[in-house]
Chain A
Amino acid sequence: MSMLEVRDLHVSYGAIHAVQGVSFDLNEGETVALIGSNGAGKSTILRTISGLEHAKSGSIKFQGSELTKMKAHKIVELGIAHVPEGRRVFPGMTVRENLLMGANLVKDKEKIRLTLEHVFEIFPRLKEREKQPAGTLSGGEQQMLALGRALMTDGSLLMLDEPSMGLAPIVVEDIFRVIKKINEAGTSILLIEQNAFLALQTADRAYVLETGKISMHGDAKDLLKDPRVKEAYLGA
């Protein structure tokens, strides 16, 4: 049984029909990528899964629970961590406060301490800047913080919205290395990327979105070689 099951999802903003009948699955332990150009509806799908937007119709099932009618804060409780587009760290809080905010729903103090240590191990840079306000960090550091904060929620599915956006290539490499590590440690990942090459290299499977609809899907390796994908998204 798949961990996340999206069926015939429709989402609109006023007159704009942003997501038009999208269906896809994600199995436990997988990394699945949604690729597609700007405005294809990728972010909207993630925001609807998290409960930040409401579906017009269709269903989203996570480990058997229906999410479309659920409040956002309840969805987090089920174990879905979402790193939103543009990082969205709390600028006036310190790095440490941001990370502890991630553990907002975790009751076990010892567990919070251990996860915090683990995050600092993955991102030693965050440890160095522990007391610094998040608003003063560089873009790359903010992305690390956003990832770390999502890890603190202790979810079993991590959704990443454009983790490479606006970052220097060397930082992007670092971030994607960490994403792979997180997946190897057992967390399932749903990844959105405009950088299709990067996404297909990281993911097990991928879906290609075009103006609100899925136009192709398959193993990431196969899509990487597919001439249509190459032409439209890989610039080759």
Chain B
Amino acid sequence: MASILQYLVYGLQLGSVYALLALGYTMVYGIVRMLNVAHGDFLMIGAFGTYFISKLFTNMVVDGTYPVIAVVAIILIAMVLTGSIAVAVEAIAYRPLRNKPRMIALITAVGVSMFLENFPRALPFIGPNPRSFPTLFITEHFTVAGASVTNVQIIMIVFAIVTMTALYLVVNRTKIGSQMRAVSMDRDAALLMGVNVNQVISITFFVGGALAAVSGICYASAYPQVDVYMGSWLGNMSFVAAVLGGIGDIRGAMLGGFILGIAQILATAVNSTFGYAVGFIILIVILLVKPAGIMGKTTIEKV
């Protein structure tokens, strides 16, 4: 029983990484109907960004760790940096192709992903070797009903849930949120309502990039190593999470992320080589049984 609970804690932790990343995937898909295959690489940029930004704050280190104010600053700077890179990627690589067939944008995204992974790899100060991620939080262990829980895990899971709730409320209750929904439903009609579509798409990419950075920080805090390819498979898994939940749906991304995280940890517990495969087994099953995903519904629309 205790071990099941323990797996659940690990699952939720990994799930919050997937969920935060899947949110960006799903929002971008919702608004431009495009699979941004390079989305996972934003996670890597966020993690590497944090690595370098934290170097700038080394003189604030006390007892091998950073004061809270420095941690908050590091995270915020990494979020803004990654969000800005995501905006730039959209403006440079995707915007010129927006009215072309979707396959062209998809292939471009694959190219962007390769660039984002291999360009830093060629830079002398980044390179191909993994770096160890700085300790941003002092880990404290608690024992809850026989399962070991750390403060870092609690912070991550709570932060993921709060972020997703906030995002859900922004999309459904605010002006920028309704503009986003309008663009996602009918871009031309949104233009005719005076919506600045380019700006709305940029904001969406910014939010997606910033969340990917948080996701990268969460992941690297749990598995303290960063390398240029880390975003690739995490991106694949979060894509599965987004499809599982129903791509385009924010609650779905969150649900899919947590389900996938828990499933992967449980599968790894059974057989350590099985963890990554379970994601794709879930993907195949969901595509066969309910292609629109858990939250996705077939839209009824009279013409």
Contact = CB atoms under 8 A, between A and B. Distances in A.
B299 A76 contact: no
B191 to A, nearest CB: 4
B194 A52 contact: no
A213 interface: no
15 contacts: A50-B191, A52-B188, A52-B191, A76-B193, A84-B188, A86-B303, A91-B301, A93-B181, A93-B185, A100-B178, A105-B194, A135-B299, A135-B301, A136-B302, A139-B303
Interface of A: 50-52, 71-73, 76-77, 81-82, 84, 86, 88-93, 97, 100-102, 104-105, 135-139, 142, 149-150, 153
Contacts of A84: 188-189, 192
Contacts of B196: 71, 73
A97 to B, nearest CB: 6
Given A92-B181, A93-B178, A93-B182, A73 B194 contact: yes
Given A90-B182, A92-B181, A139 B194 contact: no
Nearest to B196: A73
A204 B299 CA distance: 42
Contact of B194 (A77, A91, A135, A137): A77
Given A135-B300, A135-B302, A138-B302, A90 B181 contact: yes
B186 interface: yes
A179 B185 CA distance: 27
A83 B182 CA distance: 15
Contacts of B179: 104
Interface string B183-218: 001101111111111000000000000000000000
A39 B193 CA distance: 26
A51 B191 CA distance: 9
A150 B175 CA distance: 18
Contacts of B301: 91, 135-136
Contacts of A153: 193-194
A155 B62 CA distance: 61
Contacts of A136: 300-302
A88 B191 contact: no
Contact of A142 (B193, B195, B300, B302): B302
Contact of B186 (A50, A77, A90, A102): A90
Nearest to A166: B303
Contacts of A71: 196
Contact of A90 (B175, B185, B303): B185
A104 B195 CA distance: 7
Contacts of B191: 50-52, 72-73, 76
A112 B156 CA distance: 42
Nearest to B301: A135
B302 A101 contact: no
A5 B231 CA distance: 54
B194 A89 contact: no
Contacts of A102: 193
